[in-house]
Structure 1
Amino acid sequence: MASINDIPYQVIRHNPNEETRKVPIPLASEGFFFHNERMKFTVKTSSRHYATKLPGFVYLTNRRLVLIAKEPKDSFESFQIIFEEVLSLKASRTMKSTVSSYVCHTVHEHGIQVELEFHNAAQCQTYNDYMKMIVVTAAAQNLAPAETDLMEASHLEYVELPPSYSTVAAGVTDPILEQTPIHSSRIPSYSAATQ
């Protein structure tokens, strides 16, 4: 399901010289794979345009994609997609190596368009690698259909377990996946409990 403005989060600042971070409160059995705070996002649904290049935070977990604005704009503050309710997820081709764009259909929403613009191409590629892994795993568990461009070239030999919620909240960087061709059937299921 896609949710607008109802994602519980906490505001974190570890010292006075550090910018505040907004971190979503984890769901049950949720492990964080990826987070980034130097990005901008655009969210549109079939009925409304919510945000355009809004600076914020992205969190990708084994259960959902969460976007939280650094500062609310036009009554928009947060957005999430729960992967268990995704019917299809199709990548859109972009000309920029720093942009990841796709259209998602859930059991409740038709045509959610999400575009993430990262600070550099490496951050964008890391995000795409994690998203591919999640889509492949979801498809193997029949949570999402196999028809998606995101599944192309998802050559992952192993994946480090996601960091704990406390690690994400502390601002520790995420591990980068190694890439080696294998069959998607060897990708394990991820439901790491938070620590």
Structure 2
Amino acid sequence: MASFNETDYTCFPATANEKLKKVPLPLPDEGYFFNDDGVKISVKTSSQRYATNLPGFVFLTDKRLVLIAKETKGSFDTFQILFADIMSLKAKLTLSPGVAAFVCCTLNGDTYQVDLHFADNARCQAFRDYLKMIVVTASAKNIMPAEGGLMEATRITYVELPPSYNDVTSGSDPILEENPAQLDHRGYDIASPDYETQAR
């Protein structure tokens, strides 16, 4: 379930070297994968914008995505979405390497657009890679390969996240490739113009 301002968190007091940090209280058996405090958060639904470039913290666990504002502003303090409640997750193309933008649709039909602006491009790429790994892993039990190469399931209808840098440089992301090569039993691409020559 996605929710606003309902996430319990604790605050670590500021010291001479570090600023105040807010950390969500863990759910039972929850494992943390990623966090960053140099993020600007934008969250909106089809009917309301909750935050725009609001400085905050992002946390990825094996169960949820949590966003916490550094300082409560307007109607936004926290946002969380449980991966078990995601029906679909689609990345948005952005021109900036430091922006992770995606749209989540939940099982009850709600849609959330989340844009995260990272101060560090490498941290943004790490977030994308972790998010992809977590979502694919969380839905692996329900996913069956479908015609065309998309991943479909009773809960997650598609998973389309940006591939990692290594996947891009190698030419494709075989897990999420929309039009994978159609290979015969020997491994030759039957769509290739040279198929007849290769197959001999």
TM-score by shorter chain over 0.5: yes
- Equivalenced residue count is 161
Aligned residues: CA RMSD: 2.4
Aligned counterpart, 2:20: 20
Deviation at 1:125, TM superposition (A): 0.2
Deviation at 1:2, TM superposition (A): 0.8
8 A Cα contact 1:135 1:150, kept in partner: no
Residues 67-124 of structure 1, C-alpha deviation per residue, up to 9 Å, x if partnerless? 0000011131000000011000000000000000000011235220000000021010
The 1:153–1:79 alpha-carbon spacing in structure 2 relative to 1, beyond 3 Å, is same
Deviation at 1:138, TM superposition (A): 2.1
Q: Which amino acid aligns with 2:114?
A: V
Runs of 4+ in 1 over 6 A off after TM superposition: 181-184
The 1:41–1:109 alpha-carbon spacing in structure 2 relative to 1, beyond 3 Å, is farther
Larger RCO (CA under 8 A, 6+ residues apart) = 1
CA distance, structure 1, for counterparts of residue 85 and residue 60 of structure 2: 15
1:26-37 superposed matches below 5 A: 26-37=26-37
Residues 117-144 of structure 1, C-alpha deviation per residue, up to 9 Å, x if partnerless? 0002101000000001012112312274
Aligned counterpart, 1:91: 91
Aligned counterpart, 1:132: 132
* Residues 1:150 and 2:165 are matched in the alignment: no
1:52-67 superposed matches below 5 A: 52-67=52-67
Deviation at 1:48, TM superposition (A): 1.0
The 1:76–1:14 alpha-carbon spacing in structure 2 relative to 1, beyond 3 Å, is closer
The 1:37–1:107 alpha-carbon spacing in structure 2 relative to 1, beyond 3 Å, is same
8 A Cα contact 1:92 1:101, kept in partner: yes
Instruction: Give the structure with higher Rg (CA).
Output: 2
Unpaired runs of 5+ residues, structure 2, are 143-152, 176-200
CA distance, structure 2, for counterparts of residue 85 and residue 92 of structure 1: 20
8 A Cα contact 2:14 2:21, kept in partner: no
Task: Report the TM-score when normalising by structure 1.
Answer: 0.75
Residues 142-191 of structure 1, C-alpha deviation per residue, up to 9 Å, x if partnerless? 274262221755979xxxxxxxxxxxxxxxxxxxxxx9x9986xxxxxxx
Aligned counterpart, 1:166: none
Aligned counterpart, 2:75: 75
Q: Which amino acid aligns with 2:83?
A: F
